[in-house]
Chain A
Amino acid sequence: KQEVTQIPAALSVPEGENLVLNCSFTDSAIYNLQWFRQDPGKGLTSLLLIQSSQREQTSGRLNASLDKSSGRSTLYIAASQPGDSATYLCAVAGDFGNEKLTFGTGTRLTIIP
């Protein structure tokens, strides 16, 4: 059974700093990995999707990496802003034909102005 863990559970950093969020998964047979943000009381916003054959994806100030063999992914946020404050979730999809997502426990990020 796939298990996804995110460390740390909560993180507070001053505005402008770069930061890294971590995600680990126990079964490396994944189809893809996705990072989301969730604002309080809201739904999920997809940030980046990395296919199992890819090593990283970038969108603006965000960069996500994937090391499938070691079961790890990181989300790098450059030049953090107060608007980045949210809960960040990673999720992995099983192999083709088993695309259901297993979500991590989330990291609650607070950017201090």
Chain B
Amino acid sequence: GAVVSQHPSRVICKSGTSVKIECRSLDFQATTMFWYRQFPKQSLMLMATSNEGSKATYEQGVEKDKFLINHASLTLSTLTVTSAHPEDSSFYICTSLLGNEQFFGPGTRLTVL
């Protein structure tokens, strides 16, 4: 099956710093990747749709200048949380679209102190 990796799996940072999360499709090319966020005891919410070679499409309420998405190649999308604050602490999950199915990365747990 299609494999998607995320790095890092866990990160702790100080408030005000920036954190970059990588999402890679290991054995297939993905024109489209998605970034989701899951707060404790809540379900997943879509943050943005990442398209290779073009600007990401952000969902309502998600600040594009705070959550920078770059999809420079068909196998890599990055999410950078800029000037992180404690309320950004969450579980971030990326998916890669193959056909009409999304394949999930293992997630990155971000804790902002």
A interface with B by C-beta (< 8 Å): 31-32, 34, 41-44, 46, 49, 51, 89, 91, 93, 96, 99-106
Chain B residues with CB under 8 Å of chain A are 32, 34, 36, 43-46, 49, 93, 95, 97, 100-107, 109
Q: Is the interface of A mostly helix, strand, loop or mixed?
A: strand
Q: Is the CB of B43 within 8 A of A89?
A: yes
Tally of A-B Cβ pairs under 8 angstroms = 48
Q: Which residues of A contact B105 (CB under 8 A)?
A: 43
CA distance A89 to B46 in the complex (A): 14
Give 11 pairs: A residue, B residue, CB < 8 Å, sorted on A. A32-B100, A34-B102, A42-B107, A43-B106, A46-B104, A49-B101, A93-B100, A99-B32, A101-B44, A101-B102, A103-B43
User: Quick check: B106 and A93 within 8 Å, CB to CB?
Assistant: no
Establish whether residues A100 and B100, one from each chain, have CB atoms under 8 Å apart when the complex forms: no
Which residues of chain A come closer than 8 Å to B34, judged between CB atoms? 100-101
Complex Cα gap A32–B101 (Å): 8
